[in-house]
Amino acid sequence: MSDFDLVFTNTKIATMQPNKTPYGIIENAALAVTNGKIAWFGPEKELPSSTIKEKRSLNGEWITPALIDCHTHLVFSGNRATEFEERLQGKSYEEIALGGGGIMSTVNATRNASFSSLLTASEKRLQSLKNEGVATIEIKSGYGLDLETEKRMLEVARAIGKKNNISVTSTFLGAHTIPPEFSEKGKYIKFLCDQVLPVLYDLKLVDAIDAYCEKIAFSAAEIEPLFEHANLLEIPIKIHADQLSDCRGAELAARFGALSADHLEYTNTAGIKALAEAGTVAVLLPGAFLTLGEQKKPPIEQFRSHNIPIAIGSDCNPGTSPLCSLRYAMNLASTLFQLTPEECLSGVTREAARALNMIETRGTIEVGKQADIAVWDIGHPNELSYWLGLNQLSSLYVKGQEV
């Protein structure tokens, strides 16, 4: 005899467990929740005898793990619509950045923004993601590039999670670009190591650290001291790698055992092999690929052949991916990169959880995992990558509570 707090009946489940049937599908299913965790799931006819506090029939709707957006820059002020227009008129992203635009224009706006204004603007973007079934989100800093603003951004990220009843993991991206008050990249990285990261770490605002490895940002050699410092503090590492050129970012990620390497359009064969050996997740960001009009696609077939986990993020940011829809990112990953709908759904559930070091607690329907559950009015899970602009979410549960 078991005691269940909540039991869903008359449903179909896509467990997204690997090495099962496609999508891990269970027809004519039921799922039970106790103390905010999945207590049982399987064919409804096998539901154990139990005391059930509440039972809900889903009338044939589907259950999947709640979605996870594993790469966002959700907290910022202003926008870069003017730069979007300039790119359409022929300017490149690099030209805009070197001309004083790009990341620095958002840095200036964010430095001048209050906590409350940042929170209000960011919650609007979050709501769009949450409405599509996102219950866990990664939020990066990186639009402050000084202690005061980086701290404020990460505090806003924490507040967003508490106010909106979702899980937020916060990533310190101080090495996003070099601010104008520094003339040398090495001195700026030392400033981050000595005066910024230790304070943010002591305040428990940093769940991971990230860096932008690119010609217009930082080289692999310049980033190394920051990652070494992160290792000393036992902070997990992520990296923006090989988006616009082959800067050996994937190899750097692998060398430091990074949770994920993100973008990866220009990653070479050595980098792919290194990622596979390190168990690093490849995070694809098709929103940036689309917005920048990129031509070189990530090496998807090589990721597959080397069994590299593939995740998908919205990369919500004001400059290169003004995208507040993880569902659209799934569709783009299919249409632009030829991922299958099953790979797309695993990329925003199981593999996204892996990219955030959360695979033990969420990302699949398994007993003992947090009951973060999305309920969908669909005929099959492949529709979640197929439809554009049609929100089929019926309800979202976090820790077994509807939000």
Output the pLDDT for position 43: 97
Gap between the Cα atoms of 56 and 380, Å rounded: 21
Per-residue confidence (pLDDT) for residue 242, from 0 to 100? 97
Cα distance between residue 66 and residue 364, in whole Å = 9
pLDDT of 96 reads 83
CATH topology identical between 2-65+364-402 and 67-355:
no
pLDDT for 101? 79
Residue 166: pLDDT over 70 = yes
Res 353: pLDDT: 98
Say if CB 71 and CB 381 are below 8 A apart.
Answer: no
Share of the chain above pLDDT 90, in %: 91
pLDDT in tens, 67-81: 999 999 999 999 999
Could you report the per-residue pLDDT of 292-336, keeping only the tens digit for each? 899 999 999 999 999 999 999 999 999 999 999 999 999 999 999
d(CA 192, CA 226): 8
Token duo for residue 192: 């981050």
Categorize the per-residue pLDDT at 93 as very low, low, confident or very high, splitting at 50, 70 and 90.
Answer: confident
Residues 284/311, Cβ–Cβ less than 8 Å = yes
Q: How far apart are the first and last CA of the chain?
A: 29
Non-local CB neighbours of 257 within 8 Å, separated by 6+ positions: 237, 278, 279, 280
Q: Class of 67-355 per CATH? A: alpha beta
Give the mean model confidence (pLDDT) for residues 193-209.
Answer: 98
**pLDDT, greater one: 242 or 100:** 242
Q: What is the mean pLDDT of residues 127-136?
A: 98
In this prediction, residue 94 carries a pLDDT of 79
Q: 3-state SS string over the chain?
A: CEEEEEEEEEEEEECCCCCCCHHHEEEEEEEEEECCEEEEEEEHHHCCCEEEEEEEECCCCEEEECEEECCCCCCCCCCCHHHHHHHHCCCCHHHHHHCCCCHHHHHHHHHCCCHHHHHHHHHHHHHHHHCCCEEEEEEECCCCCCHHHHHHHHHHHHHHHHHHCCEEEEEEEEECECCCCCCCHHHHHHHHHHHHHHHHHHCCCCCEEEEEECCCCECHHHHHHHHHHHHHCCCCEEEEECCCCCCCHHHHHHHCCCCEEEECCCCCHHHHHHHHHHCCEEEECHHHHHHCCCCCCCCHHHHHHCCCCEEECCCCCCCCCCCCCHHHHHHHHHHHHCCCHHHHHHHCCHHHHHHCCCCCCCCCCCCCCECCEEEECCCCCCHHHHCCCCCCEEEEEECCEEC
pLDDT digits (tens, 9 = 90+) for 177-189: 999 999 999 999 9
- Chain segment 39-56, per-residue pLDDT in tens: 999 999 999 988 899 999
Q: With both helix axes pointing from N to C terminus, report the angle between 103-111 and 147-164 in degrees, rounded to the nearest 10.
A: 80
Pick among 3.40.640.10, 2.30.40.10, 2.60.40.10, 3.10.20.90: CATH of 2-65+364-402:
2.30.40.10
In contact, 156 and 115? CB cutoff 8 Å? yes
**Region class of 133: left (phi > 0), else alpha (psi between -120 and 50), else beta:** left
Q: Domain locations in the chain?
A: 2-65+364-402, 67-355
Residue 235: closest CA among 264, 193, 263, 267? 193
Contact 141/122 with Cβ under 8 angstroms? no
pLDDT of residue 19: 83
- Average pLDDT value for residue range 1-13: 92
pLDDT band at residue 1 under the 50/70/90 scheme? low
> What is the distance between the alpha carbons of residues 152 and 110, in angstroms, rounded to a whole number?
10
Across residues 116-130, what is the average pLDDT? 97
282 DSSP β-pair partners = 261, 310
